[in-house]
Amino acid sequence: MLLFCPNCSNVLSVSKVPMDSPIEEERGKNRMECRTCPYQYVIIEQSFFERKNFTFVEKDDVFGGANQFDNADKTPVQCPKDGCNGAEAAFYSIQIRSADEPMTNFYRCMTCGNRWRD
């Protein structure tokens, strides 16, 4: 969890309050301090953290799952699978190599469901 300075909006960092601090109960405790302005916040509680549990997303969910080709563009292309005479395929393009390489097209035959890439 990142905390930001209310004065200048920079990220606060954690540091120890020096032992020669004028306020005795703050000595040796942790504080959040801004490195660009004089703002600081002493952490009074023993622990200062926030726990978040993230759920993992399946790869198919990221790319659209079972319905990923429902709204995809379609093009007239012959399916490379033996025995299929499908002449139309849905496709999408992704840049998977460096920027100077062409984009990779992924196809799905609308007849048999075969997938391939170009």
Q: What is the pLDDT of residue 15?
A: 87
Taking only the tens place, the pLDDT of each residue in 30-76 is 888 999 999 988 887 766 667 788 887 666 555 666 677 777 889 99
Predicted TM-score of the model (pTM): 0.44
- Closest residue by Cα to residue 112 from 89, 91, 92, 93: 89
Q: Do residues 31 and 17 touch, judged by C-beta distance below 8 A? A: yes
Binding residues: 5, 8, 34, 37, 79, 84, 109, 112
- Residue 84: Cβ within 10 Å count: 14
Domains and CATH numbers, the chain: 1-53 (2.20.25.10), 59-117 (2.20.25.10)
Q: Which residue has the tokens 């209310």?
A: 6
User: Which position has the higher pLDDT, 61 or 91?
Assistant: 91
Please, what is the average pLDDT of the chain? 83
Annotated binding-site ranges for Zn(2+)? 5, 8, 34, 37, 79, 84, 109, 112
DSSP string, 49-87: ----PPPP--HHHHTTGGGTTTTSEEEE----STT----
Between 1 and 27, the more confident residue is: 27
The burial class, CB within 10 Å (0-12 / 13-18 / 19+), for 42 is middle
